[in-house]
Each structure stands twice: as structure tokens, then as C-alpha cells.
Structure 1
Amino acid sequence: MDRTPQVFAPPSVHDARPSPYDHPALAEKFRPIFQRIADTVLERERTRTLPFEPITWLKQAGFGAVRVPVEHGGGGASIPQLFQLLIELSEADSNVTQALRGHFAFVEDRLNAPASAQRDLWLQRFVAGELVGNAWSEVGSVAIGDVITKVSQKDGEWVANGRKFYSTGSIFADWIDLYARRADNNADIIAAVSTHQPGVVQQDDWDGFGQRTTGSGTSVYTDAKIAEENIFPFETRFKYQTAYYQLFHLATLAGIGRAIERDVAQQVRDRQRVYSNGNASHVSQDAQIQQVVGQISALVYAAEATALRATLPAQRAFEARLQGDNAEAERQANIDAEIESAQGQIVVSELVLRAGTDLFNALGASAASTSKSLDRHWRNARTVASHNPIVYKSRIVGDWRINGTEPPYVWQIGNGTGRKV
């Protein structure tokens, strides 16, 4: 049953006509695939098998092009509609959503780019099913603000050299959205690097206790070739990108919450054993257990409603960018997108983690059986909630509300200049 609150945004400004694809129609197209993914998720979790098959199913169905305008062969979905779909996908397997995070961010960047033959070529690639991975973070002795991965010219060609970690989704991708620095002028750039070459080597070495099948490991670039037209100045990147990345975490968390609600209700419904100090001869009729499940349902409802509400400013920012006639409206939309995605992160993380714990209050010790893998919900939620530290987001929101300090749109991680150990 479709439990998703309906959140509709104005038609894409790519096309003056209303999109023929509303959310129910989009969802109906992909729900059979989401169900197949859900039916196979436990086996992937138990064996730590990467979701190559599920991602192929989604590619073949055109899921990677759902944001591409209808006139270019895509689904014509708004940002809110996309994230409604991603919540449903996350309920089936939250790892798959996170693996596609870099792809949809690169699609969003191309949708924000000025009209050109090169932009249209990228839209064609998305419609053809080509996927884009992500490689931005560097680890090791990297000073904050520095970028060790370099793009330079060699024998008349542009090549990339460097090493990245948290390369989420890249192992499934045809292209990689690579954050690097030009060796000739030290300008920060984004390079779209084809994975179909010997200069790109990827490893599945992410060792987190949650989100274990996202392909978020190491990627190494050794004279990896890049077409010159696929090198983009970083300052041209779409302005609401940080908020957009955070919206993926909110959708992932909300979907995990839906999976928790689904599983706790099913487990209670099927459970035969009762406690002598309980309140009914069948646990499904126990008023206290019903209360716990009701509380979980309310937590998940609030998480999903918040996640969807947070998508609306990003849609406004997208439309303001393409209309291009009101710089102040675009600036305010980008501020709203950043602030609301941060507000959502602060509360959604807490709501879903609480739901993941309350699940065990409803089921007892037998729920801890590894054969049920119910612990994956809390582990996955805790891992997602650890991205982009919440404490800093709370401070940024507070500084905005108190002092009107504009939030940062780009931030990095690396070694600081403070205490040495």
C-alpha cells in the first residue's frame, strides 16, 4: 500500500507543459522493482553481496534518468517526486539509495548547466542508463583545504592521478564525478572520468558496521584519461549541492524507518510466544505492544514528512537558477535549502534511531537473532546519521536564526593545524 504523503512541486521549467508523470505514475512504474530488491535484501546483507543486480534492474527501467526532462526522454520528475521514490527504494534496501547518491547529484549538476550540445549529450547518457559514481574525499595526511588528486596534461591528453576513499557507488558506475585540482593553475575542478579504462581501479574496502553494500571504498586514478569537455570548474557546480546530498541521507533514513515499521508490525503479527506477565494470549492483542508499534509508526511518519518537506526549497532553488532573472530569490532559495536540510538531519536522525531501538522493545530477545538481520536497520541508520556531523549543523542553524549568518555551501575534511599527537 502506498503510504507516501503526496508532495507536488510546480512543473519543471525545462518544459512549460505540465509533466504527464505525477508521483503515483512514477512510483507504479518502479514499485515492482523495489519489491524485487526488498525480496533479496536479506541475502545481500548476510553475505555482504554488492547490489549489482538491483542496480542493473533500476538502470534498465530508466530510474537513473527520472529527473531528466520528458522532452529528452526522461521521467520529468521534480526534486520532491524523486525523493519520494528514493524513500520507497530505501525501504527496500537503503544501500542501493546511497550507492546512487553520486549519480543523482551529477545529474542535478547537468540539469543546472546552461543549455548546450555537451549538456544534451549527458542527458542522453543518463537516458541510455549510464550511471555516475562519486569520488571526492581523500584520506591520510591531507591538510584541510588541500586536494592531492591532480588533473594535468600528459602527451597532449588530460589525465587524473590520485586516490580517493568513500567512493560511494563508483564500483557500479560508468563514470566518476571526481573532485580534483588542476596541476597547471591550482583551480579546483570536477572531472567526469570514464571507468572503462585501465587507469581507474576500484576496491570494495569500506569496513563500516552499517551500509555495508554501498560500494563506498577506495578508487585509484593512474593517468586516467579525461576528455577536455568533461572538466568543469568547481565554481560552476550547482549551488544547492550540499543540501541535495543531505536530502539523500534524509530519504535514506526515512526509508529505513519505513522498513522498521513494516518489520516490527509483521514480527508482532506472526509471533506465537508470549510472556506470562504480558497482557494477552497473543502478542498482537497486547495493548502495550500495540502502543510501542504505534509510537514507532508515529516516529516514522514524522521522519518521512520532514524529509519530504525539506525537498521543497531545493526545487525552488533549481527553478530560480534556470529562470535566472532574480538573483536574490535564488540566493534565498539556496539558503533555505541548506537550512531546512540541516534541520531535517537534526531531527530525522534521532527519530529513526529511536524507532530502530524501539523495535526491540516490541519483540524481545528473539529479535536479536542474526537470521532476522533486524539489527541492520539501526546499524544502517546510525551509519547514515554519522555523515556530516549533526552538532555542526545544529550550530549553523542556530547562527542563522540568531545572527542571520549565511550557512556554508561547501565544506571539507582534512588534517587541522592544531594539536599534534
Structure 2
Amino acid sequence: MNSAGASELNTKIAIADEDEPHAAVSLQPESRRKPARVIVDDAEAIATAERLAATIAGDAADRDRNRRLPYDEMKLFAEGGLLGASIPKQWGGAEVSITTLGTVMRTIAAADPNIAQIPKNHFLAIDIMLLNGTDAQKKVLFDEILSGALIGHAASERGTKNVLEIKTRLTRNGAGLKLNGEKFYTTGALYCDWIAVSAIDDAGRYVLAFVPRHQQGVTIIDDWSGFGQRTTASGTGKFNDVLVDPERVVSLEDAYVKPTLAGPVSQYLHACIDAGIAGAAINEAMQFVNTKARPWADSGVSRACEDPYIISAIGDLKIRLFAAEASLEKAGHRLDQFAAAAPSEDDVAVASVNVAIVKVLTTELAILATNKMFELSGASATLAAYNLDRHWRNARTHTLHDPVRWKYNVVGDFFLNCVNPRRHNYV
């Protein structure tokens, strides 16, 4: 692509490496996308996720070490049809259950939680469109997703009072609708076809604007410098007088003002990612103990895997993982039950509390498992060659999405004082 063509894109990214973390280059959009498979049912979705996980797991440590962004892996994700798995059958999708979608996310996260997190908000965008979009809007967006389009995310901002406040504006003028603002977190935007941007419209309402990734005025900067989830590219997004098609705008606040499952489902998928990280760390610990770790001198055993304390510790982690996964399954089934009909105020409250419980369990297990992995494996497990610390870094980073200390409060207030949780994207 020549320099004139690059400038016409008006879309810059920074391919970060450890020496030049903010070097800007131009990115040419995909002119042709390989058609995606259309998944037909839950079993196929899970089988597809398992195949993809087997493909991406082997290079996960190298991708993290070198911060190699997973463009090819995300193409495999899209081509396999997983992006459209949750779309209802009436719109051509498989309409997999929420439980199945959680299983898919957990399976991918165990292989590489970065690749699981990238499309997480893609599924939230589908839910918002299902709740608030017109039939015409749904058909256009869902047809594109079923062909392999990924929806990126642009929500949280710096300099606001809290995570729920945003300053990005969608205003109407003589030229139509224009979007202006800057986002601090844009997970998935670097890899996507469309970006779902949260904004405030002229009436003061929260809306979601679907903007083409390479629309003039859109700048995605790969300046994500977090020590974990390094290849999600969750960096800055700038939107400068971006023209927005009115048919690509839906209400965001209606997904939370009225009782819906948008918030609980979003949180549920986050918990599934944390469970995947925990499971991967436990497996890494067992493999290291079996193949590389030495027994403690006072143990009287010849192999580390025969150490009774290590055996008990692994047993404890496996028990906690079993409980967390069982709780995820129970919460998922409850979400599916409520999704089968229009959920009531009380249904959404129960769903939110159930998900808050699993969020606590998976968060604490992910941190515990990634810590114990080193304690049980010994000092040699910290060598850079193994890059096992990526599990702890990923767990510590991803579990900071929202404070789990507030989950305890939500659960306690519900059972003790019959107070329903607030409704937003973090409950």
C-alpha cells in the first residue's frame, strides 16, 4: 500500500515492542475476509472451541513473551464461526446457550486468556443489539457477524468520576451524527471490523454507536502497557468528528434501566475467563511438579510429585476448581432459564447475585492457583524460559476488571437486607 493510500485510512496504530512501545504505523484494512463457518448447535460450538484451543495453546507463552499480537489466531476464531454462535436462530445463528458460551470462553481462556478476552465484549454488543435494536439493524449487523466480522469495544475513559461516567458525545449537526471523544480501554478494537462505542447523545442518553474500524477520524493506538493480558491491545481509542450512520446507533441505557440479563451475562463471561486461567495454572503446576521440580530434602521421597504436602495442595486446588466450575454451570443454567422468557426485576437480581458469587470464586481461585504454581514448583519455575509468570500476570490483570470486594457486599445485602443489586455492566 502506498503512502497516499495509508494516509486516506486516517487510522493509526502502534505496534508495540519492548524497545519502541509507541511506534506508529498505518494498518491496511482487510479487503476480503474469508467466509466464516456457521455453527449450527451447542455441541459444534464447544468442539470448535476445543480445536481452536489446541491450536493456539502451544504458542501462548511465546506470544506473551514477545508481545506478538494474535491477528492470525483471531482470524481462526472468526473463521471457525464462534463469533456468531450466540446469534438467535431466526437471524441465522446457532443460538447457543449462555452456559455453552461460557464453556467456549473458559476453554479458549485456558489456552490463551488474551484471545478469550478480545471477543468478550463482541458478545455483549450482540446482546445490546438484541435488546434494543430494530429488526433492520439486527439483520445488517448479524449478517456481518455471521460472515466473520468482529465487534470491538470502546467504553471506559480516563478523567471521569468513576467507570460508569463517560464524556464521549454523539451529536447531531448539519452533516448528520458525529462522534467525539477518547477511550482508555478499547479491547478488541485493534483486530475488529466494527467498534461499539459508548457515548452520550443530545438528549443525555447513553447510546452505543457501531463505527467502522477504519472510518475517517478513528484512531486506535496500541499503547496498552499492562503487565498482563499483554496481547489484548486494550489501548487508547480516539474519535474525532467521526460520521456515524443513524442506523448504527442503539440505546445502551435501556439494557440496564429495564430488567435485562446484559449485566449478569457480561460478568459471567469474565468469570469464565478467570476460571480458564486458574485451570491452566493448575495444569502447568502439575506438569512442572511431575517433570522438573525436585523434592524437598527433608521429604524422604525421590520425586516432587510424591511429596505429601504438594499432593494435598494440588488436591485443594482441584477441589476449588471443581467447586468454581460447578458454580459457573449452575449460574449459567439459571441465566439460560431466565433468558427463555422476559426476565423480571427479581429474576435479574437473582442472576446478578449468582454471578457475583461465581465472580468471587473464580477471582480468588485464579489468584491462588497462579501463586501456588510457583510455591509447589520451586524457584526454577520462575526462569524466563518457562514464562509461567504470564498466568499470574494475566490473572491479576483480568480480575481487576471490577472490584471483587463489592461482590461480597452485593451478595450480603441481597440475603441480609433483601436489597437487589444495581443494574449496570459491572453487576
TM range (shorter): 0.7 to 0.9
Correspondence 1:189-268 to 2 at 5 A: 189-237=207-255, 239-268=260-289
Match of 2:385 among 346, 368, 371: 371
Residues 41, 20 of structure 1: alpha-carbon distance in 2 compared, 3 angstrom cutoff: closer
> 2 CA distance for matches of 1:334 and 1:143?
23
C-alpha contact 2:132 2:251 (8 A) present in aligned 1: no
> 2 CA distance for matches of 1:398 and 1:164?
33
Correspondence 1:11-410 to 2 at 5 A: 21-23=41-43, 25-113=44-132, 116-140=135-159, 146-182=165-201, 184-237=202-255, 239-271=260-292, 273-321=294-342, 329-410=343-424
C-alpha contact 1:176 1:195 (8 A) present in aligned 2: yes
Residues 110, 364 of structure 1: alpha-carbon distance in 2 compared, 3 angstrom cutoff: same
> 2 CA distance for matches of 1:233 and 1:320?
21
> 2 CA distance for matches of 1:84 and 1:58?
15
Q: Which amino acid aligns with 2:60?
A: V
- Shift in Å, 1:235: 3.2
Kindly report the root-mean-square deviation, in angstroms, between the aligned alpha carbons of the 2 structures: 2.1
Residues 351, 143 of structure 1: alpha-carbon distance in 2 compared, 3 angstrom cutoff: closer
Deviations 1:144-202 (A, max 9, x none): 865321111244321101001111111111111111111x3222211111112121111
> 1 CA distance for matches of 2:77 and 2:191?
12
> 1 CA distance for matches of 2:40 and 2:179?
42
Residues 20, 188 of structure 1: alpha-carbon distance in 2 compared, 3 angstrom cutoff: closer
- Shift in Å, 1:115: 6.3
- Shift in Å, 1:220: 0.2
Task: Identify which range, 82-91 or 201-210, moves more after superposition.
Answer: 201-210
C-alpha contact 2:293 2:378 (8 A) present in aligned 1: no
TM-score (norm 1): 0.86
Deviations 1:313-360 (A, max 9, x none): 332332223xxxxxxx52222111211111111222112211112212
Residues 285, 142 of structure 1: alpha-carbon distance in 2 compared, 3 angstrom cutoff: closer
**Identical positions, percent:** 29
- Shift in Å, 1:237: 2.4
SS state at 2:48 partner? helix
TM-score (norm 2): 0.84
Q: Which amino acid aligns with 1:311?
A: G
The 4+ residue runs of structure 1 with deviation greater than 4 A are 141-146
Q: Which amino acid aligns with 2:375?
A: N
> 2 CA distance for matches of 1:30 and 1:347?
24
> 1 CA distance for matches of 2:418 and 2:319?
33
> 2 CA distance for matches of 1:246 and 1:206?
22
C-alpha contact 2:128 2:252 (8 A) present in aligned 1: no
> 1 CA distance for matches of 2:348 and 2:138?
23
> 2 CA distance for matches of 1:37 and 1:308?
25
- Shift in Å, 1:113: 4.3
SS state at 2:198 partner? strand
Residues 349, 231 of structure 1: alpha-carbon distance in 2 compared, 3 angstrom cutoff: same
Residues 187, 29 of structure 1: alpha-carbon distance in 2 compared, 3 angstrom cutoff: closer
C-alpha contact 2:46 2:104 (8 A) present in aligned 1: yes
Q: Which amino acid aligns with 1:268?
A: V
> 1 CA distance for matches of 2:392 and 2:360?
16
C-alpha contact 2:267 2:425 (8 A) present in aligned 1: no
> 2 CA distance for matches of 1:32 and 1:396?
38
> 1 CA distance for matches of 2:361 and 2:60?
27
Residues 343, 141 of structure 1: alpha-carbon distance in 2 compared, 3 angstrom cutoff: closer
Residues 286, 136 of structure 1: alpha-carbon distance in 2 compared, 3 angstrom cutoff: same
Residues 346, 76 of structure 1: alpha-carbon distance in 2 compared, 3 angstrom cutoff: same
> 2 CA distance for matches of 1:333 and 1:305?
20
Structure 2: unaligned runs, 5 residues or longer:
1-38
> 2 CA distance for matches of 1:144 and 1:272?
43
Residues 145, 49 of structure 1: alpha-carbon distance in 2 compared, 3 angstrom cutoff: closer
Deviations 1:36-80 (A, max 9, x none): 110110111101122211111100111100112345432331110
C-alpha contact 2:87 2:95 (8 A) present in aligned 1: yes
Residues 236, 144 of structure 1: alpha-carbon distance in 2 compared, 3 angstrom cutoff: closer
> 1 CA distance for matches of 2:163 and 2:148?
36
SS state at 1:310 partner? helix
> 2 CA distance for matches of 1:142 and 1:220?
20
> 1 CA distance for matches of 2:306 and 2:161?
57
Structure 1: unaligned runs, 5 residues or longer:
1-18, 322-328, 413-421
Q: Which amino acid aligns with 1:270?
A: T
Q: Which amino acid aligns with 1:83?
A: G
Q: For residue 13 of structure 1, what is the aligned residue in structure 2?
A: none
Residues 279, 120 of structure 1: alpha-carbon distance in 2 compared, 3 angstrom cutoff: farther
